[in-house]
Amino acid sequence: MRIGIDAHAIGSQTAGNETYIKNLIEALAAIDVENEYVLFFTRPEVAESWRGRFRNFRASLVRPHTRYLRIPFSLPWAVWRTEVDLLHVQYVAPPICPRPIVATIHDLSFEHLPQMYTPRERWLFKLAVGYTARRAARILTVSEYSARDILATYRVPPERVVVTPEGVSALFTPVRDPARLQAVRQRYGIAREYILSVGSLQPRKNLVRLIQAYVNVRRRDDELDHQLVIVGKKGWLYQDIFRAARQSPFVKDIIFTGYVPEEDLPALYSGATIFVYPSLFEGFGLPVLEAMACGVPVLTSNSSSLPEIVGEAAILVDPYDERAIEAALQRAVWDAELRRELSERGLRRAQQFSWKRTAELTLRAYEDVVRSWTKSKRTTSPQAVSVSR
């Protein structure tokens, strides 16, 4: 097989999408030396950095990189030119493509929380993702929750939806070295013990409620002086997040780091007192898995896919209940035995997820699609028709 993968997210600093495709490609390279892969990049420097990295992988530059031209024109042209057997995309496929599509759809938050998106983004997602889901030969998704949601929302045949849970990179392990922990604190202006949250700055991550819960705990508990460290690149509709921090009496203790390179994340996770991820909707919630792998206690939402991912290894709260977040936060900060237990459970839970398994399931889906495509071409070819007669 010759497999085409849309890798435009690599180098985009788009958090989950970039992490997913980068780790999937590396895991596929580790398990598959037989098939050929063509990686479609949009940034010349990124394409160059991947060129020659793996023997059976080659980088192809697709320009222009704006999605309004790349998706309908440049990408299908690249697919035809490189003669791949299928194209793997995330969320949105070209409306016309000369080869079958495998699409990874992580979640349908835009369907359930439309108010969390700009009108243009909401319209584009609903139209393009719905179309992609209905025409893709296989839909890969990252949790059983998302699989059920896709089936219910788009009414696609169940055999076309495949669950391929995400993994956790070997990079994410507990960091115990005091010098390394101190270095990352200094790099991001962290002066004291801290509560950590990681994710792009957008309404779905529920950061306004987290900030308000943090403020209320600080107001009520004079002895608690932890800082709140929020890691993530600006997404969209983030103005309310910064406004909540500015209006807080503890504004100097709320740190926005912006985008953080992956190599700094394990130390940031490991140094935190607790990791808080009160997202309103997730298809998987990769930062939660990374935090557990680093041994930090986790507090997260009791909704969407998150209970499925954490099992019994986290404190679960209603993400819409600010007081519940507040109470759980205060309890976790002061209860050392609870944190120790959650840390141990989290480490065990994280071991159940691997990118190798993600790659194995994905490769199996590729094989099924190409086998079906090849069979359908044979049965519809003029030669096949004449023989059957």
State the burial class of residue 86 (Cβ atoms within 10 Å of its Cβ: 0-12, 13-18, 19+). Answer: buried
Name which of 131, 122, 133, 106 is nearest 304 in CA terms. 106
**Looking at the predicted structure, is the pLDDT value of residue 389 above 80?**
no
- Return the number of other C-beta atoms located less than 10 Å from residue 85's C-beta: 18
SS (H, E, C) the chain: CEEEEECCCCCCCCCHHHHHHHHHHHHHHHHCCCCEEEEEECCHHHHHHHCCCCCCEEEEECCCCCHHHHHHHHHHHHHHHHCCCEEEEECCCCCCCCCCEEEECCCCHHHHCHHHCCHHHHHHHHHHHHHHHHHCCEEEECCHHHHHHHHHHHCCCHHHEEECCCCCCCCCCCCCCHHHHHHHHHHCCCCCCEEEEECCECHHHCHHHHHHHHHHHHHHCCCCCCEEEEECCECCCCHHHHHHHHCCCCHHHEEEEECCCHHHHHHHHHHCCEEEECCCCCCCCHHHHHHHHCCCCEEEECCCCHHHHHCCCCEEECCCCHHHHHHHHHHHHHCHHHHHHHHHHHHHHHCCCCHHHHHHHHHHHHHHHHHHHHHHHHHHCHHHHHHHC
**Looking at the predicted structure, is the pLDDT value of residue 388 above 50?**
no
Q: Do 62 and 40 touch, CB atoms closer than 8 A?
A: yes
pLDDT at 380: 65
pLDDT, tens digit, 9 for 90 and up, residues 355-377: 999 999 999 999 999 999 988 87
pLDDT band at 386 (very low <50, low <70, confident <90, very high): very low
When pLDDT is averaged across residues 331-358 and rounded to a whole number, the result is 97
When pLDDT is averaged across residues 118-124 and rounded to a whole number, the result is 89
pLDDT at 211: 98
pLDDT, tens digit, 9 for 90 and up, residues 32-44: 999 999 999 999 9
Per the prediction, the chain carries an average pLDDT of 94
**Looking at the predicted structure, is the pLDDT value of residue 5 above 70?**
yes
Greater pLDDT, 328 or 67: 328
What whole-number distance in Å separates Cα of residue 61 and Cα of residue 82?
11
When pLDDT is averaged across residues 45-67 and rounded to a whole number, the result is 90
**Looking at the predicted structure, is the pLDDT value of residue 312 above 80?**
yes
High-pLDDT (> 90) share of the chain, %: 89
Token digits of residue 139: 């839909």
CA-CA-CA-CA dihedral for 305, 301, 189, 17, to nearest 10: 20
CA-CA-CA-CA dihedral for 60, 64, 70, 74, to nearest 10: -60
**Looking at the predicted structure, is the pLDDT value of residue 157 above 80?**
yes
Task: Specify the range with the lowest mean pLDDT, choosing from 119-128, 143-152, 225-234, 322-331.
Answer: 119-128
Residue 163 is which amino acid? V
**Architecture of domain 2-167+355-371 in this structure:** 3-Layer(aba) Sandwich (3.40)
Domain boundaries, the chain: 2-167+355-371, 178-350
Q: Do 141 and 283 touch, CB atoms closer than 8 A?
A: yes
| Cα-based distances in Å from 61 to 162, 345, 372 | 29, 43, 29
Greater pLDDT, 263 or 118: 263
**Looking at the predicted structure, is the pLDDT value of residue 218 above 50?**
yes
- Return the number of other C-beta atoms located less than 10 Å from residue 279's C-beta: 24
**Looking at the predicted structure, is the pLDDT value of residue 96 above 60?**
yes
CATH number of 178-350: 3.40.50.2000
**Looking at the predicted structure, is the pLDDT value of residue 84 above 60?**
yes
pLDDT band at 275 (very low <50, low <70, confident <90, very high): very high
pLDDT at 15: 73
pLDDT, tens digit, 9 for 90 and up, residues 126-154: 999 999 999 999 999 999 999 999 999 99
pLDDT at 384: 44
